[in-house]
Amino acid sequence: MSVTKKGERKQNRKQGGRYSRRNFLSMMMLAGGTAMGVHALAHASPEFNGWPKANGMLVDLTACVGCRSCEKACNEANNMPAPDKPFDDSSVFKEKRWPSAKTYTVVNAYENPAGSSAPVYRKIQCNHCLEPACATACPMHAYTKTPEGAVLYNENVCFGCRYCVIACPFNMPGYDYDSALDAKVVKCIFCHGRIKEGKLPACAEACPAGTLTFGKRSDLLKLARKRIMNNPDKYIDHIYGENEVGGTSWLYLSNVPFKNLGFPDNLPKKPLIELTSNYLSSVPVIFTTFPAIFGMIYGLMRGRKNESDSENAPHEKEVK
Amino acid sequence: MRIYFMKKPLFILIAITALSLMLAVLYGSSVKAEVSKKIPGTINIKYIQKQYGPVVFDHTKHAAMAGNCGKCHHSHNEKINSTCKECHALDAGVFKASAKQAFLPCSACHSDYSPDSPGVPGLKVAFHKKCFECHLGMGELGSSPAGCAKTCHVKKKA
């Protein structure tokens, strides 16, 4: 580096050139302001109460008689493989089953604390959250919350990270491990095709006991409240799924505490995405502003170092 | 097209006559339902069978045990978890007939379930709900899926 060039740069800096303190401070303020602005946007995201006119299912657990008609209908409607035990076999109630690659839904029997000899039955399937954690966790957007209500999974884009399996508060997306090469998530699809055709979900159509009521979620909430109001001694004053993790399309009424039936009872009322959205929304801000900020600091420091180098040891470089 | 050329008062007169005729026919049908106060006896419930054979239902026996038709059928005297509005909003004419103690068949109001009125169960659910009120717990009903075929239904031959 020649002496004249060095001199020019020194001169530049004194005149308030590219790396002046004033410029640096103003850049910092700009970056900080942008970061805060984006953060404020993330906070201001409006509350989502589900798609208008979205469908739902009201499950009145007090009505279920454990006939397993829903399991059978689901199996037939979705062309699932034949079950290990026939659908009129009650021995399946001895264990707590879970939806698997072979079935979207199962009915389990739980002890009835009310002293009744008949057990309390609970149908288990995807609850089709209004703001599904599986969809927000998925890096490939394999999950879609449809305006009709169903949370659908697209196996063609899934690359098998299993984030959805961990994210789901209800433990629903199960991986089909039966096929090592073509592994995919198998979960209830809320009979999306049938609903679009104007039919009822297969389970709701099959249910003889009036346990499953399909309809608009808003109507079902009203119906559930009415049932609780008309039978305050029968029902627990809680519609499970109304507020859990921001609300689910499937709603439940029960006469025994939901905890006793294996429902998770420690879920927040807000959608799970709100636990991470503030943090995640700051990631792009950090990725864009931090390199700029630290780049500027680095530039300043390097400039100062060069400056002090040239002042302290001018001869070393000139030897070259 | 001749109506178009008719004088206005004449047209109104014809319209009123037609309307009153229609109303008379409607009223007549409801009166007919009212008259059939006799208990239907043993019936074959076969409207909705799919998996199982029809259920043979002895109306007389059940009516004698229940002691009151209103135990199963909606009526003004026996409100079955329903408010006035619930039924009257549906079809006042039909309900009026049943209110006069002429109990209509369940299928008069309960047909295929419609998600537009989730408060009205479909015919299948309406039937089962009533049966379960007493029959749940009998035999294996309520404790095993096999109970359906053992207690009330006959499994259809495949």
In-domain check, residue B145: yes
ipTM of the complex: 0.70
In-domain check, residue B105: yes
**Kind and range of the H or E element at B31?**
helix B8-35
Identify all chain B residues contacting A210, using CB atoms and an 8 Å cutoff.
121, 125, 128-129
Question: Could you list the residue range(s) of the whole structural domain that residue B20 is in?
Answer: 1-35
Instruction: Indicate whether B13 and B62 sit together in one domain.
Output: no
In-domain check, residue B92: yes
State the nearest Cα–Cα gap between A44 and chain B, in angstroms: 35
Domain CATH code at residue B135 = 3.90.10
Quote the pLDDT of residue A16.
45
State the nearest Cα–Cα gap between B15 and chain A, in angstroms: 38
Considering its fold, how many domains does chain B have in total?
Answer: 2
Chain A: residue nearest B130 by CA? A209
State the nearest Cα–Cα gap between B52 and chain A, in angstroms: 12
Query: Which of A58, A59, A60, A65 has the highest number of chain B CBs within 10 A, making it the mutation to test binding with B?
Result: A65
Instruction: Indicate whether B51 and B21 sit together in one domain.
Output: no
pLDDT band at residue A2, thresholds of 50, 70 and 90?
Answer: very low
Average pLDDT (A181-191) is: 88
Interchain CB distance below 8 Å, A88 and B116: no
CB proximity A149 to B under 8 Å: no
Residue A61 · residue A258 · CB < 8 Å: no
Instruction: Indicate whether B116 and B142 sit together in one domain.
Output: yes
Which of A117, A210, A230 has the CB atom closest to B128's CB atom?
A210
Please report, rounded to a whole number, the percentage of residues in chain B having pLDDT higher than 90: 8
What is the DSSP-derived secondary structure letter of residue B43? E
Instruction: Indicate whether B21 and B83 sit together in one domain.
Output: no
pLDDT band at residue A151, thresholds of 50, 70 and 90?
Answer: very high
Instruction: Indicate whether B27 and B71 sit together in one domain.
Output: no
Helix, coil or strand: residue B42: strand
Identify all chain A residues contacting B89, using CB atoms and an 8 Å cutoff.
none
Identify all chain B residues contacting A117, using CB atoms and an 8 Å cutoff.
137, 143
Provide the β-strand partners of residue A250: A57
In-domain check, residue B25: yes
Instruction: Indicate whether B122 and B92 sit together in one domain.
Output: yes
Interchain CB distance below 8 Å, B145 and A210: no
Interchain CB distance below 8 Å, A66 and B143: yes
Residue A184 has pLDDT above 90, yes or no: no
In-domain check, residue B114: yes
pLDDT tens, position by position, B65-109: 888 777 888 766 555 556 666 666 666 666 666 666 566 778 877
Q: Can you give the pTM of this predicted structure?
A: 0.74
Instruction: Indicate whether B118 and B140 sit together in one domain.
Output: yes
Chain A: residue nearest B112 by CA? A205
CB proximity A228 to B under 8 Å: no
Instruction: Indicate whether B9 and B84 sit together in one domain.
Output: no
Instruction: Indicate whether B56 and B72 sit together in one domain.
Output: yes
Interchain CB distance below 8 Å, A90 and B119: no
Quote the pLDDT of residue B35.
35
Instruction: Indicate whether B143 and B74 sit together in one domain.
Output: yes
pLDDT tens, position by position, A11-48: 444 444 455 666 656 666 665 555 555 554 545 456 67
Instruction: Indicate whether B63 and B9 sit together in one domain.
Output: no
Instruction: Indicate whether B28 and B99 sit together in one domain.
Output: no
Residue B33 has pLDDT above 50, yes or no: no
In-domain check, residue B115: yes
Which of A65, A210, A230 has the CB atom closest to B136's CB atom?
A65
In-domain check, residue B156: no
Residue A313 has pLDDT above 60, yes or no: no
In-domain check, residue B157: no
